[in-house]
Structure 1
């Protein structure tokens, strides 16, 4: 049974939709874009943040500005002696922050990489209380401009989808940025399902739902259907590793299958048993990502 607050919210949208479906859709989009609070929700998250502090302290903070705002990143330099280190852009998921990727950061640096970990707007050390896909793509563009490009991009969940959309140039006023290799972890393959689910959750009328999805066009210049990350990767033919758990309860494994069907450049690696969140800290996952990132170097050495 829905809570009293949810029922009241649904009633408000139902009433507003009668008088102005456009206003209802715009208001729903604002609600859709609000990011979760940054404070740990439970003792487990608090412990993770505490444990990550040592790793975070090794990263150099970098401020990145873009049209409409700014975001924070941390630069974790490769271990001394790594003259040909891969430069990696690492992006977290919705409601997360780079601190929760500390184990992966450690593993990637140890594997021979320069890691730039980006806190998306409204998350971690970045300001704001909202996030949209266009804003995420603009933050990625800011990182790209500041560091002059990346050999590899690695993204978890919404961060993975954002990297794919950035690679495809899906925000009309932002140039496409495709790394030489892409890694997507537990990432959605398209965005329309999120809007449909949210609309059903609020019980929006068809016209209000249309106004909600129309906000995407206003912000990016493209329809929601065009934000299809699987289609982008198939068109780009960039070597891509998709890591997903079949027991992921937040992003269905069907999204991983859509990626795998996009083209021969996409390799699917199941990481069953690690769900949606533990997957980013799982040793076998980090080992597999390192192998993918450095595959060409090892083949050349052999």
Structure 2
């Protein structure tokens, strides 16, 4: 059994045992696990990262590691990586973006890469994108993958005048409710009371229900030009979410559906990156 699967089995057991004592504690524990990247991925500093200006930031008392390239360029772009990912996995985008005249900014999210912290949720990631926009922006464009794509879409939808911006979304986590339901199924959490306490954490932390954290919900407020790229065989963020939004015919979103790239190769594919360059 792989180590990660072994850890998941232990966590399932923990939730079941807690449920025997307290449904609330079991639900709260399940939510903390949902927000915790298993096996934090660290990385070595590569030549491209070494060429960047190093940035540091304290966010919610958590130290974050950041990078900036091409400081002072005429345009600015922010990159937001996905869950259990980090900035280094997107370094191949830097030459493309600087060639397009962008100053590029990227931070490892809390609990990711070389940043501190143990947990991250959609509330905090969205707030972080908004905070980076105030501190280092304004940005002319945003690039987000998976969980980072959701955070970018939610944050940008709250910006006044966002119609002037561009966004590239690689396989965004469009539906947080679906992700949560998938997690609870994977962790075999079937007790209605435990599930209720799981969801209550979202309202306690944000004052909103989980359905608020969806791209479909924020579409009326999202006027930016969007390039949405999703693979038909994505097993992490199902393509059906992208198709549901496409069928609403949003005039500002251009959809590209690929075949066989999955969830992670999609932002490395040469043909895809050529379309991204043309869009930006």
- Whether these two folds match at TM > 0.5 is yes
Paired position in structure 2 for 1:200: 185
Q: 1:112 aligns with which of 98, 101, 106?
A: 101
- Verify: 1:56 aligned to 2:13, yes or no: no
Paired position in structure 1 for 2:169: 184
* Cα distance in 2 between the residues matched to 1:4 and 1:101: 29
RMSD of aligned alpha carbons = 2.5
Query: In the comparison of the two structures, how many residue pairs are matched?
Result: 275
Q: Deviations over 1:93-121 (max 9, x none)?
A: 11111101011122211222111112111
* Cα distance in 1 between the residues matched to 2:67 and 2:27: 36
Paired position in structure 2 for 1:128: 117
Instruction: Structure 1: state its 5+ residue gaps.
Output: 41-48, 170-174, 294-302
Q: 2:128 aligns with which of 133, 139, 142?
A: 139
Structure 1 pair 119/14, CA: closer, same or farther in 2 (3 Å)?
same
SS of the equivalent of 1:250 reads coil
TM-score where L is the length of structure 1: 0.82
Paired position in structure 1 for 2:203: 217
Paired position in structure 1 for 2:33: 31
Structure 1 pair 158/8, CA: closer, same or farther in 2 (3 Å)?
closer
Moved more, 67-76 or 119-128: 67-76
* Cα distance in 2 between the residues matched to 1:265 and 1:4: 44
TM-score where L is the length of structure 2: 0.88
* Cα distance in 1 between the residues matched to 2:244 and 2:61: 33
Correspondence list, 1:92-111, <5 A: 92-111=81-100
* Cα distance in 2 between the residues matched to 1:7 and 1:159: 27
* Cα distance in 2 between the residues matched to 1:127 and 1:229: 28
How far the C-alpha of 1:123 sits from its partner, in A, is 0.8
Correspondence list, 1:1-302, <5 A: 6=8, 9-39=11-41, 53-77=46-70, 85-169=74-158, 178=162, 180-204=165-189, 205-262=191-248, 263-293=250-280
